[in-house]
Amino acid sequence: MSEDEAHYPPVDTLSVGLRGRCPRCGEGALFNGLLNVKPKCEVCGLDYSFADAGEGPAVFVMLIIGFFVVGLALWLEVNYSPALWVHLILWIPLATVLSLSLLRALKGLMIGLQYRHKAGEGQIDRD
């Protein structure tokens, strides 16, 4: 990541990350579409080439949404014993919608945290 020379007031990383906004100015959009990161901010010009969320957000989404949906499905099964098609109709769309919305928010948060802490690729010092 290149050294950031611009002077912008600090923004709340949690807020701009969850809203999918630029981690430097807090105004420009971070995403182009659902999960694709734009090449740069259209407001302040920050180059988003440093942004690499990797698989981190997906792991957290699977754990959080899986725990929530499986817990509700088990509760429904134990208390009401509905047919299998009821489970399919309820839990597949719910898991899909929750996963996509949470994945976008967590990806934005992780990119915001990378910018704030100047996270970069690891290097080995060979002196």
Asked if residue 105 is part of any domain, the answer here is yes
**Helix extents (H) in the chain:** 13-19, 56-80, 84-116
Encoding tokens for residue 19?
Answer: 């809203």
Asked if residue 19 is part of any domain, the answer here is yes
Structural domain span for residue 39: 13-116
Distance (Å, whole) CA 49 – CA 123: 18
Asked if residue 52 is part of any domain, the answer here is yes
Asked if residue 1 is part of any domain, the answer here is no
User: Model confidence over 99-114: pLDDT tens digits?
Assistant: 999 999 999 999 999 9
Asked if residue 121 is part of any domain, the answer here is no
Complete DSSP assignment for 73-84: HHHHHHHH---H
- Residue 1, pLDDT > 60, answer no
What's the total number of domains in the chain? Answer: 1
SS3 19: helix
User: Model confidence over 7-32: pLDDT tens digits?
Assistant: 788 899 999 999 999 999 999 999 99
Asked if residue 125 is part of any domain, the answer here is no
- Residue 120, pLDDT > 80, answer no
Asked if residue 32 is part of any domain, the answer here is yes
Asked if residue 22 is part of any domain, the answer here is yes
What's the pTM? 0.82
User: Model confidence over 31-57: pLDDT tens digits?
Assistant: 999 999 999 999 999 999 888 888 889
pLDDT attached to residue 94: 97
